[in-house]
Structure 1
């Protein structure tokens, strides 16, 4: 059932989704309960106005039950509201958000950390490939501005100097999952995707790919797709289902997921001005919780950290040899 169908399933459908959402929350809490599990680092990439910040705010709502936007949403603006590499630990959930439910805050301690990269145009500007490469490897400090990254790349003389200018290992920032966020109303950004693919195709001296994590496509603003046959119902914001499918097909081709879209592409609706954020929407929460569970289940960090070795038992002390008085000199 699509997001659209679930949103219009009526009260019975909402009740069923609410039950499913409680089950999903419990499953996420169970995944978090294993403290040997590494926290997934998720990077959001997409064009300006794709809906990355709204996605973060909706995920926080699904986890806390409260809509308190922390990521500044641009509402389709031509300029990105996000200016730096933002970091949202626990998917942006803070202790004060669950001040009356301390137990849940502790239970979701290992949900993913989200890194939100500023929205881009569909152009591959000089240095973008190197910047993405450094971010994915975890060599760029959180909250570093995009302008600084670009200026640092442009002012250095060669590739070695560029890498030394920016590279500072941040082990807890290495990306394990990439979410490419794409609006249903915009054509596929082929140049931007091509730049990302170049980074993902890089290999080390041994020929093995440097990035082995998951790449997942999130098609945002799915509530703007007109699922009715009557085109007269469309507004300037709405798009036809045929037009949407053209965009989805292009994204599937560009990311080579045409044969397995179900596991690699999510149709997404965020809480927004259009969709009343003050009222619970089980369908939106359901998509968010399923996305979190997918990342935690299939991400590269899903492998458990090795258990700490048990301390070796001390060897029993060897008994001292008995003193032989027969050789004693008188």
Structure 2
């Protein structure tokens, strides 16, 4: 991938997904791919119309998808299932978080099935709780539903190492101590799955902000978030308040250990890219659905979208995000259920990035001071404060003496 700004812009105009992390990921050539993975990708493209097979960097997108899947398999094989990545999908109501979960599941299994509830039309969001999908929502039971034996064997091999996805109920555009507390507990791994966001907010109103930390005092390493994906709809306004609240959480420090409390990476996914007028994108719609008309009020101009995309990335870069990824996303929905190479490409590249080890992880133990060291520090601080108090008392005494002498001299003259 070219890292220059001009080449990045050109690539954004041509691709369905843009990955900006400053890294060059070399993929193996098509000839080195396992035969079974090639067969899977061939089956994934059977129903795709010719016009929806754009070329990417001189390669057919089908080949690119096969390489991505092979890369995912290799990453899973070398990763530790005990340290599986935990992804938190965060965003406003109706941003398309649940549709992302369903799309990843569909791309991996080849079955269009809604494992995460998602709304349509005016009922844009029905997710009310914190939903957790272990291993991308694929279980040993759902493996049996995969019809193709080759695909089933491949997914079965990497299943324990696929990331866990937490789909959080949509939040409002708010930057408040209450939302901050919920975000801290989510990122820190304190809130168990199936907990209702609305119920937590009611507890905050009843008992006050800070009460949730008493209700959920223990963190679980299995729930601790390693990657945060902020999901933003291309048709919605930028939630600056919610972004500011998230960034304040990520800046929080553990003063005792002198480190950041949360080391999760942050990513930006812009959903509903199918509503952007892009001549390089062609989708096969399902059933009686018709393409949006060029004059449709829902459609966005590609140039307007790029400005919006840049503004969002700027907001997140301003918080000092060390690794920034911007992804243009199209989900499989009731409107788009047919297999599509462009959607598969987005999902596979996103999944590969989620599986890659986080650079924030290190082998060094956190600084934990022994009790004796704390005692020594407090004694030092106490002695220092006493010393400062004595110095202050001496200064005050000198001032009082000087004033007294001056007063006596003035009285004697009179």
Task: Please classify the TM superposition score into its range, dividing by the shorter chain length.
Answer: 0.7 to 0.9
Unaligned segments of structure 2, at least 5 residues? 1-13, 18-47, 280-292, 364-414
> Is the 8 Å Cα contact of residues 234 and 305 (structure 2) preserved in structure 1?
yes
Normalised TM-score (structure 1):
0.81
Structure 2 partner of 1:84: 129
Aligned length in residues: 299
Structure 2 partner of 1:117: 168
CA shift for structure 1 position 172? 0.2
Structure 2 partner of 1:308: none
Matches of 2:240 and 2:335 in 1, distance apart?
A: 28
- Segment drifting more, 33-42 vs 59-68: 33-42
> Is the 8 Å Cα contact of residues 178 and 214 (structure 1) preserved in structure 2?
yes
Matches of 1:302 and 1:3 in 2, distance apart?
A: 30
- Segment drifting more, 104-113 vs 259-268: 259-268
Matches of 2:320 and 2:50 in 1, distance apart?
A: 29
- Deviations along 1:289-310, one digit per CA (max 9) or x if unpaired, are 1011111114358779xxxxxx
Q: Secondary structure at the match of 2:228?
A: strand
> Is the 8 Å Cα contact of residues 132 and 193 (structure 2) preserved in structure 1?
yes
Q: Secondary structure at the match of 1:280?
A: coil
* Pairs within 5 Å for 1:19-168: 19-34=63-78, 36=80, 38-75=83-120, 77=122, 80-99=125-144, 100=147, 101=149, 102-103=152-153, 104-124=155-175, 127-157=178-208, 159=210, 161-168=211-218
- The reply to whether residue 287 of structure 1 matches residue 346 of structure 2 is yes
Matches of 1:258 and 1:145 in 2, distance apart?
A: 29
Unaligned segments of structure 1, at least 5 residues? 305-330
- Segment drifting more, 281-290 vs 293-302: 293-302
> Is the 8 Å Cα contact of residues 48 and 78 (structure 1) preserved in structure 2?
no
Aligned-residue Cα RMSD (Å) equals 3.1
- The reply to whether residue 238 of structure 1 matches residue 282 of structure 2 is no
> Is the 8 Å Cα contact of residues 39 and 301 (structure 1) preserved in structure 2?
no
CA shift for structure 1 position 18? 2.3
Tell me: CA distance 1:12–1:184, structure 2 relative to 1, closer, same or farther (3 Å). closer
Tell me: CA distance 1:78–1:198, structure 2 relative to 1, closer, same or farther (3 Å). farther
Q: Secondary structure at the match of 2:88?
A: strand
- Deviations along 1:42-91, one digit per CA (max 9) or x if unpaired, are 00001111111111111111111221111111235466311100000111
Matches of 1:21 and 1:166 in 2, distance apart?
A: 42
Matches of 2:311 and 2:50 in 1, distance apart?
A: 30
Matches of 2:323 and 2:265 in 1, distance apart?
A: 14
> Is the 8 Å Cα contact of residues 24 and 290 (structure 1) preserved in structure 2?
yes
CA shift for structure 1 position 93? 1.6
Structure 2 partner of 1:322: none
- Segment drifting more, 172-181 vs 100-109: 100-109
Normalised TM-score (structure 2):
0.65
Tell me: CA distance 1:128–1:32, structure 2 relative to 1, closer, same or farther (3 Å). same
Matches of 1:261 and 1:198 in 2, distance apart?
A: 15
- The reply to whether residue 250 of structure 1 matches residue 295 of structure 2 is no
CA shift for structure 1 position 262? 10
Structure 2 partner of 1:315: none
Structure 1 partner of 2:376: none
Tell me: CA distance 1:202–1:31, structure 2 relative to 1, closer, same or farther (3 Å). same
Matches of 1:282 and 1:130 in 2, distance apart?
A: 40
- The reply to whether residue 16 of structure 1 matches residue 75 of structure 2 is no
> Is the 8 Å Cα contact of residues 45 and 180 (structure 1) preserved in structure 2?
yes
- Greater gyration radius: 2
> Is the 8 Å Cα contact of residues 41 and 112 (structure 1) preserved in structure 2?
yes
Matches of 2:78 and 2:321 in 1, distance apart?
A: 30
CA shift for structure 1 position 105? 2.0
> Is the 8 Å Cα contact of residues 28 and 108 (structure 1) preserved in structure 2?
no
Structure 2 partner of 1:2: 15
Q: Secondary structure at the match of 1:215?
A: strand
